[in-house]
Structure 1
Amino acid sequence: MDHHGPHGHHESHRVRQVKDARETRQGRYSAWLKKAKSRDACFKLQSHVMRYFTIDFDARIIFYSHSVLQKKVSPPIPFMDIRGAEELPLPMKHAKGTTAMNFGFVLHTKLRSFELYTSSSADAAEWAFALNVAMLMGKLKCLERLKVLQDGQEHLPTDVEKEEEEEALKQVEEAAARLQEDAKRKELRLLQIQLRAKDEVAAFRKEEEEAAEKKKQEQAAAEQKQVLEKQAEDLQMLQLQLLIQEEELTARKEEEEKAAQKKKEEEASAPRKQQAAKDLPAFEPSVLVEALAMLLASEVVESNGNTTAEWKEIQRLEEIQRARSKQPGTKHEATCLNPPMVVVPGASVNA
C-alpha cells in the first residue's frame, strides 16, 4: 500500500489515508520532507532541499526522489543498515499561520546521517517511530539470515523458530508502541507549553490594559481636579470683585448723601444771609467787615467747606457799603476806600 503526499514543493508534505503504513508496518508510506544539505555539497545556494521520501515495509527499504512520479530514485537503504532515528529539539516559536517545516528528526544509517524536517512535532515523532521499528525489523532479518547461514541450508522455519520470530515481532511492536506513546506525550507537552504561553500572553495583555485604564483614570482625575481648582479661583475672584463694587457703591452713596446734606444746608442758610445783608445798619466799614469776617469764619468752621465763596460774599458786601458811603450826606467816605484786611482761615485773599 502506497501513501503519497501532494505534488507541491512547499505544500503540506503528507495526506492521511485510511491507514498509515508507519503504524501498520505494512505497505509503503511516502511524503515530502525537507532535507538539510550535507557539508560536502557542491552547490549550497540553499541550506535545505525538498525530497520525496518513501519507506517500504514490504521490501524493507528506504529511498527518496526529486518528485512524486520520478522513476529515478536514490540508492535504497535496507532496514538492516538503519542505526536508529531521533527527534531534534523543538524549534523556536515561528510566526502564526506559517507552514514552515521546522520540526526535525535525524536518521542514522550505516553510511551517513540524514537531517530531515516536517511540519509538525507529531509527524516528526511518527517518522522517528517508524524508522526505529524498521531498524528492529532489519535486525530481525539479520538474525534470520544469520541463523540460515549457521544451518548451512535453506529450510522452512520450525515451530520454535516461528515462536522466536513471533516473540521478536512482539518485542518490535512493543518497542514501536512505546515510541508512539512517547511521541504522543511529547505532542501533549508541546500543546501544554503553547497553551501556557497563550495564557501568559493573555495575562500580560490584561495587565497592560488594566495599567492603561488606571493611568487614564488618574489623568481624568487630575484634569477634573485642575478644573475644580480653576472654578474655585474664579469664584474667589468674583466674590472679591463683588465686595469691591459693594464698597465703592457704599462710598459713592455716602458722598452723595454728604453733598445733598451740604446743598440742603446751603439752601437753608442762603435766605438768612440775604436777610442779614438787608438788615445791616450803616456801620462803619471796619466794624462791618469785622462782623462779617467773624460770621463767615464761624460758618467756615462749622461747615468745613470752601471759603472762596464766602470771601466773595464779603467783597460783595463791601462794594454795597462803598456804594452807600458815596451817596450825598454819608460820612466816612474816605475810610471805605481802604477797609482793614481781615484774614479768614482757609480763604485766599485777592487784592
Structure 2
Amino acid sequence: MKIAVDAMGGDYAPLEIVKGVEQARDKFKDLEFILYGVQEKINDILNNSERITVIHTDVMIEMGEEPVRAIRRKKDASMVLAATAVKNGQADAFFSAGNTGAILAAGIFIIGRIKGIERPGLATVLPTVEGEHSNFVMMDMGANAESKASHLYQYGFLGDFYAEKVMGYKTPRVGLLNLGTEEDKGDAVHKEAWQLLNASNKLNFIGNVEARELLNGAADVVITDGSNGNTALKAIEGTALTMLKLIKTSILSAGIKGKLGALLLKDSLRGMRDRLDYTKAGGAVLLGVKAPVVKTHGSAKAQEVANTFMQIRTMLVAELIPAIQEYIEQNSDELRTSNDNE
C-alpha cells in the first residue's frame, strides 16, 4: 500500500513529516511512501530509504495562498504532485499537513468526488469523557463554510458509514449539531436538514444535539456545517489544553501538599490527559472523494504524523473508498430524494 506524502506541508516540515513516515514505515511492513519535496532536505533527515521514494520539487503551496488558484497555477507543488500520483494510480492515499483549503481543493478537483456526493466534507474523530464509546466522529469540520440541507443529510450517511465500518460502532447514533434539542430550533437549513435526517429509513437519527453535550457521548456521529464544526473543534481543543494547563498551574502553586497529591494521582492525571488527546485518533478525513485524503494539524509532530498514517492504513486495509461507493449506490434513492426536495 503506497501513500503519497506532501513532505513540505506543515509548520515543522519536512523534519517531523519525515520522522513520522519512518516511524510508520518501521511499524507497518506493508506500507510504502512516496515523498514529494526538496530532495536534499529530506535525504538529510532520512535514516534509511527502505520503502521510501523521494520525488524532488522545490515548489510548495504556502499557508496563506488562495487554495484553488494555488492548485491550478502550481502544477509542480509538492501537494499537487502527491494528489496527482493518487489520481494516476501511482499511490493509494494522499497525506498532507499543509494548507487546509488547498488539500480540499486537491482532493475534490484532482482526485475527484464520488458519484452521488454533492459536497465532500472533512470528518474527524474526537474523544468523549463518558458514554458507551470513547470517541465520536464529527463532520463537516471546515471544508464548506456554508451548506445546504442536502449536504448535511449526505454527511449523515458518510459519518454513519465511517463510524460503523472504521470505528466498529453498531447502528451509530446520528445527531445534528444545533443551538437546542427541539425539532424547530435553528435556521431554515438546519430545520430542513432535521426533517430529511428524521425521515431516513437507514440512519439512526436521534435529533439535535447541543455543543455542550458533545464530549458527553451525546451521539456517535455529529453532523454540522463547516463553519460551526470548525468553531466547535477549536473550542474543544482550546478547552482541553486550558484544563490541562490549569491543573498543572494549580498543582505547582499549591506547594508541597499539591505536589504530593499530584504524585499520588499521577496515573489518573496521565489517563485524563490521554483521554483528552485528540491527536491519537489521527487526522481529518475528506469523505466523499475517490481515495483516502487525510489532513493532520499544521503543528503536528512526528508521533501525530505516524498516528495519521496508521489511520490511513486502516482505511486502505478496510477498502474504505470502494465500500463507501457501494454504500452510496445502495442508498441512492434516499440521497436522490433529498436533492429533489431542494
Say whether the fold is shared (TM-score over 0.5).
Answer: no
Larger Cα-atom Rg: 1
The structure whose RCO (Cα within 8 Å, separation 6+) is larger is: 2
Question: If each structure's helix is expressed as a fraction of its own residues, which one has the higher value?
Answer: 1
TM-score by length of 2: 0.21
TM-score by length of 1: 0.21
